Amino acid sequence: MTTRKPNILLVLADQLRACSVGYAGEEPVITPHLDRLAGQSAVLTTAVSPTPVCTPYRGSLITGRTALSLGLVLNDIPLATTETSLAHAVTRAGYDTGYIGKWHLNGGDRPAWVPPGPPRQGFDFWAAANFDHNYDRSVYFMGDSPEPLTWPGYDAESQTTLAIDYMTRHRASEKPFCLVLSWGPPHHPYRTVAKNYLDLYDPDAIPARANCPDPPRQDLWGYYAQTTFLDDQMARLVAALDALGLADDTILAFTSDHGDMHGSHGVYKKQWPWDESIKVPFLLRYPGTVAGGTRFDFPLSAIDIMPTLLGMAQVPVPATVEGVDLSPFIRGERNDAPPAVLLMNPCPFSIGDPRGPDQVPAFQGMRMEYRGVRTRRHTYARTIDRPWLLYDNLEDPFQMRNLIDEPQCRGLAVKLEGQMQALMARIGDRFLPKEDYYRQFGIELDHRGKVKGIIENPYDRLG
């Protein structure tokens, strides 16, 4: 008789950066429940979104493959149905699967129905839409029906209630479950959250980060309030696991798809290689296996999450996965150094956005495609034209001193360039101009630089 495998509950926020949770100790964000969960979990302090954009990250999360390997070089490109997902892997191991919330892997029709079958990448229970950030009136679809429904109230709260209902139905099942709960906040629009959360913060009193000359306090006000709202939803999930007797048998992971610059280094939103954009929270709780309150500073990439969860659950990792199973490091079975994380932005897409990479005066005239690496200590990045950034994140945690032109750092830059090239070689990355990827993946853009369509069948484009 075999031992029943643990449940997996993966909770995903949208645009929540690693520094904007209370336990990080960097910003005055009220997250008592996440702080308590951090004390029960392994905290990975260098969790990285390697391509800090929604669709590329989400494809990497559920396949363990880089955005470039998937052809997801921009938002609103559908994930090919030939890929092997987290849901496929655990289904083979006897799991029930479910997905609730934001998907954003089915093309450019945003609040859209994702039809049953291959486009859902193996997830059985379904209560989701491609995505909708109208949090107080957002659309979703339940089961196989194409009839649009509206989440009651603020959507993440209703989504959390449905996740608890799902776990309640499965508590006595002989089969373990793998459930992904994908929240939309704290992504803009920021100040749609209930007034009692906004009242917790005084926007005029929000301090500036050391690398942020002009903090957008009105945005941060809503961003922090939404994060506290999500903190309360996490409290409900943890309480439900306890009440249902599932806490000890459930791997609980919490993370986000990317961060938000919020004015640090004078720039906004995502896509940038600085920590406010690429670093995300990552908590992993598994009582009896993972020591609570342990902190690991080695890098974890989005492509490592799928194999690490599978490793924790003792489920075979598909051969297609490009990430690393870090579960032996988290369990304390290995203490050598995991590899560096490859950073990439193959196709900057902010044409027409006054706060995006292509439009920032300091970077106009530069090709903003970049590759880089994030290690325990260093960040290195180069544009398609030249080396660009080098930081010692231990000595300079706000990344305010770029060492790329420092003579004494030339050897370090060469070493990190070598690590970057080795990681690129593993996936066949030739670091081409973005226009080459548009042609390669059959991407057609509109006048705003957003995906208008995929010229050929997107599910055949990767061969």
pLDDT exceeds 60 at position 9: yes
- Rounded CA-CA distance 282/288 in Å is 19
Q: How confident is the model at residue 356 (pLDDT cuts 50, 70, 90)?
A: low
What domains does the chain contain, in order, with CATH numbers? 7-330 (3.40.720.10), 341-454 (3.30.1120.10)
Q: What is the pLDDT of residue 132?
A: 84
**Higher-scoring residue by pLDDT: 8, 349:** 8
Which stretch of DSSP H or E encloses residue 47?
strand 42-48
Element (H, E) at 255: strand 250-256
Please write the tens of the pLDDT for every residue from 155-164.
999 999 999 9
Query: pLDDT tens digits, residue range 151-201?
Result: 999 999 999 999 999 999 999 899 999 999 999 999 999 999 999 999 999
Mean pLDDT of the chain: 93
Catalytic center residues: 54, 104
CB 322 within 8 A of CB 427: yes
The per-residue pLDDT for range 75-131, each reduced to its tens digit, is: 999 999 999 999 999 999 999 999 999 999 988 777 789 999 999 999 999 999 988
Contacts of 312 (CB under 8 A, 6+ apart): 6, 251, 284, 286, 289, 290, 327, 330, 331
Q: What is the pLDDT of residues 278-311, one digit of tens each?
A: 999 999 999 999 999 999 999 999 999 999 999 9
How many percent of the chain have pLDDT more than 70?
94
| Percent of the chain as helix, strand, coil, to the nearest 5 | 30, 20, 50
Contact present, 323 and 64 (Cβ < 8 Å): yes
How are beta strands 96-102 and 177-182 bridged, if at all?
parallel
Condensed to tens digits (0 to 9), the pLDDT of residues 23-78 reads: 999 999 999 999 999 999 999 999 999 999 999 999 999 999 999 999 999 999 99
Contacts of 435 (CB under 8 A, 6+ apart): none
The amino acid that residue 440 corresponds to is: Q
- Least Cα distance to 100 among 5, 184, 187, 34 occurs for 184
Q: Can you give the pLDDT at residue 363?
A: 73
Question: pLDDT-derived band of residue 361, with 50, 70 and 90 as boundaries?
Answer: low
- Average pLDDT value for residue range 199-216: 96
Quick one: tokens of 375? 């290690």
Rg for the chain, CA atoms, rounded: 21
What the block records as the tokens of 148 is 């649009």
Q: Does the pLDDT value for residue 352 go beyond 50?
A: no
140: which 2 tokens?
């979703």
Prediction pTM value: 0.94
CB 417 within 8 A of CB 411: no
Of 91, 92, 68, 56, the closest CA to residue 178 belongs to: 91
Report the candidate in 109, 106, 132, 127 with the shortest Cα–Cα distance to residue 118.
Answer: 106
Q: Residues 240-265: pLDDT tens digits? A: 999 999 999 999 999 999 999 999 99
Percent of the chain with pLDDT over 90: 85
Specify the pLDDT at position 360. 67
- How far apart, in whole angstroms, are the C-alpha atoms of residue 55 and residue 45? 23
Query: Collapsing DSSP states into helix, strand and coil, what is residue 53?
Result: coil
Q: How confident is the model at residue 359 (pLDDT cuts 50, 70, 90)?
A: low
E-only strand ranges, 257-412: 279-280, 282-285, 294-301, 341-345, 370-374, 378-383, 387-392
425 burial (CB, 10 Å; 0-12 / 13-18 / 19+) is exposed
Digit-coded pLDDT (tens) for 126-144: 999 988 889 999 999 999 9
| pLDDT at residue 463 in the model | 30
- pLDDT at residue 445, as a whole number: 85
The pLDDT score that the predictor gives to residue 459 is 32
SS3 call for 341: strand
Position with higher pLDDT, 89 vs 365: 89
- Which residue bears the tokens 């106009």? 364
Q: What is the pLDDT of residue 454?
A: 58
For residues 29, 35, 37 and 41, what is the CA-based torsion angle, rounded to 10 degrees? 110
pLDDT digits (tens, 9 = 90+) for 300-344: 999 999 999 999 999 999 999 999 999 999 999 998 888 899 999
Instruction: Give pLDDT, residue 357.
Output: 60
